[in-house]
């Protein structure tokens, strides 16, 4: 196989492990957030931070070691075969799936509500409510760039792995080129990353609310979690899109140079190749910068600890008085044996 995919593998792995991971961890850990409104809120925020740091360490620091070694072994085992290139192509997506898996575990293990008094906002939370619009658009943009590039390259490619020109007296080919040979695994990997991202965002939207905080604070913490998920997801899709553009650009440049034969040179192909390579580089840099940008802080302005309606102060968000006995509203007749007429076993455990 060509040395280029292996080179890309090393570059991407080194870039993420050496530059991005410490930078993101520095940004995340150096921030001193405003005091949380309650102990449960502080515990929830700490849980979210631990999960995020673990996701970066497992996904992008330990991940390269976990993934690079098997891929390196596969490349050496494949010898001059082309399949090592597929491993290099889907490498960022595999790291991204590791990153998202850690986030999913963190959301599934989110602290359950405790205590005798529980509160819930009468709000319908959807994935759109918790997702930061900028990063969502960026993720879809990188995905769109990647899909369009792979489809166009797939249509242009010759044999799935190279691009060719014909001349009256022969032809020339250049590769590796992201034709269908690389494009199909990449599209599958992209679908997996997008599906996993949506799944984790659904977990973020549906996780238990933090008790003793205002709904605005809880929603703000969900948006912080969603930002952290999207930060990693857009990074892997952006790196993949940038790398595909760069590889396609370099192949076109090689084809445009005509193997040193001035009669076979094509300024158009060369210029197109350079433009694609530069665009790929810009996409990679933009994805790296967006991954390192700090998330918006959890809102604290105007958010007070929840005051129960039985207290003298007015609650920040009204909850109807909790009845302790049948009052002005006639209770519906309870049917013995039906769920909900007494705290269930899981509720008692959660107290």
Partner 1 sequence: MALQVEVDLTSSVPPYEQIRLQVLAHVSAGRLRAGDRLPTIRAMAADLGVAAGTVARAYHELETAAVITTRRRTGTVIADGATGADSSLQEAADRFVANMRAARLDDEDVLALVRGALLGHPGGEPAAPTATARA
196-255 residues in contact with partner 1 (CB under 8 A) are: 205-209, 214-216
| Closest by CA position to 245, among listed 303, 178, 342 | 178
- Examine residue 336 and tell whether it contacts partner 1 (CB under 8 A): no
Nearest to 135 by CA among 287, 31, 32, 6: 287
Contact of 49 with 39, CB cutoff 8 Å: no
Q: Residue 338, Cβ neighbours under 10 Å: how many?
A: 8
User: Sign of torsion, CA 342 344 345 351?
Assistant: negative
Beta partners for 174?
Answer: 163
Task: State yes or no: residue 350 binds partner 1 (CB under 8 A).
Answer: yes
For residue 267, which phi and psi values (nearest 5 degrees)?
A: -65, -35
Q: Which is nearer to partner 1, 263 or 312 (CB)?
A: 312
Torsional class of 327: left (φ above 0), alpha (ψ -120 to 50), beta (otherwise): beta
Part in contact with partner 1 (CB under 8 A); list of ranges 66-74, 114-122, 155-163, 275-283: 114-122
Residue 128 interacts with partner 1 (CB under 8 A)?
no
Residue from 35, 170, 328, 337 touching partner 1 (CB under 8 A): that is: 328
Please give the Cα distance from 206 to 211 (Å, whole number). Answer: 14
Q: Return the number of the residue (90 or 221) whose C-beta is nearest partner 1.
A: 221
Q: Are 255 and 165 in contact (CB under 8 A)?
A: yes
Q: Rounded to the nearest whole angstrom, what is the least distance from the CB of residue 203 to partner 1 in the complex? A: 10
Nearest distance from residue 290's CB to partner 1, in Å? 30
Does position 79 interact with partner 1 (CB under 8 A)? The reply is: no
Work out whether 267 is an interface residue with partner 1 (CB under 8 A).
Answer: no
Q: What is the DSSP string of 64-75?
A: HHHHHHHHHHHH
Q: Check binding of 329 to partner 1 (CB under 8 A).
A: yes
Does the protein bind partner 1 through residue 39 (CB under 8 A)? no
Q: Is 262 in the site for partner 1 (CB under 8 A)?
A: no
As given in the structure block, the two tokens for residue 5 are: 């995919």
CB of residue 216 to partner 1, shortest distance in Å: 7
Say whether the peptide bond before residue 69 is cis (omega within 30 degrees of 0): no
DSSP code of 20? I
Q: Which residues contact 6 (CB under 8 A, 6 or more apart)?
A: 72, 75, 84, 88
CA-based end-to-end distance of the chain: 60
122 binds partner 1 (CB under 8 A): yes
Please choose, from the candidates 235, 207, 231, the residue with its C-alpha nearest in 3D space to the C-alpha of residue 221.
207
Using the rule CB under 8 A, is 343 a contact of partner 1? yes
Establish if 339 lies at the interface with partner 1 (CB under 8 A). yes
Which of 133, 170, 337, 340 is in the footprint of partner 1 by CB under 8 A? 340
Contact letters for partner 1, residues 282-311 (x by CB under 8 A): --------------------------xxxx
Site for partner 1 in 93-112 (CB under 8 A): 112
Q: Closest distance between partner 1 and the C-beta of residue 41, in Å?
A: 14
User: In the complex with partner 1, which residue's Cβ is closer, 80 or 324?
Assistant: 324
Residue closer to partner 1 by CB (options 77, 123) is 123
Q: Is 120 in the site for partner 1 (CB under 8 A)?
A: yes
**Which residues lie near partner 1 (CB under 8 A)?**
112-114, 116-125, 205-209, 214-216, 308-312, 314-332, 334, 338-344, 346-347, 350-351
């Amino acid at each position: 196989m060509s040395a280029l995919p292996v080179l890309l593998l090393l570059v991407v792995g080194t870039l993420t492990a050496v530059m991005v991971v410490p930078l993101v961890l520095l940004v995340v850990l150096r921030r001193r957030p405003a005091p949380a409104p309650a102990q449960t809120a502080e515990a929830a925020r700490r849980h979210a931070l631990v999960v995020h740091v673990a996701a970066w360490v497992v996904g992008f620091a330990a991940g390269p070691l976990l993934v690079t070694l098997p891929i390196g072994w596969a490349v050496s085992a494949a010898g001059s075969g082309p399949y090592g290139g597929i491993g290099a192509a889907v490498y960022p997506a595999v790291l991204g799936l590791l990153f998202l898996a850690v986030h999913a575990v963190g959301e599934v293990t989110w602290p359950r509500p405790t205590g005798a008094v529980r509160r819930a906002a009468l709000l319908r939370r959807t994935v759109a409510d918790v997702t930061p619009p900028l990063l969502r658009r960026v993720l879809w943009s990188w995905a769109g760039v990647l899909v369009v590039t792979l489809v166009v390259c797939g249509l242009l490619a010759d044999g799935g792995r190279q691009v060719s020109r014909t001349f009256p007296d022969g032809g020339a080919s250049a590769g590796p080129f992201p034709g269908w040979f690389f494009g199909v695994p990449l599209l599958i990997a992209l679908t997996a990353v997008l599906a996993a991202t949506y799944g984790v965002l659904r977990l973020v939207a549906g996780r238990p609310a933090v008790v003793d905080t205002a709904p605005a604070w809880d929603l703000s913490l969900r948006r912080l979690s969603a930002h952290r998920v999207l930060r990693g997801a857009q990074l892997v899709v952006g790196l993949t899109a940038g790398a595909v553009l760069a590889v396609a650009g370099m192949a076109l440049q090689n084809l445009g140079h005509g193997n040193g034969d001035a009669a076979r040179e094509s300024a158009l192909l060369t210029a197109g190749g350079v433009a694609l390579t530069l665009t790929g580089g810009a996409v990679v840099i933009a994805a790296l910068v967006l991954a390192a940008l700090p998330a918006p802080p959890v809102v604290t302005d105007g958010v007070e600890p929840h005051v129960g309606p039985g207290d003298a102060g007015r609650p920040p968000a009204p909850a109807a008085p909790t009845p302790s006995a049948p009052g002005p509203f006639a209770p519906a007749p309870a049917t013995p044996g039906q769920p909900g007429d007494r705290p269930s076993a899981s509720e008692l455990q959660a107290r």
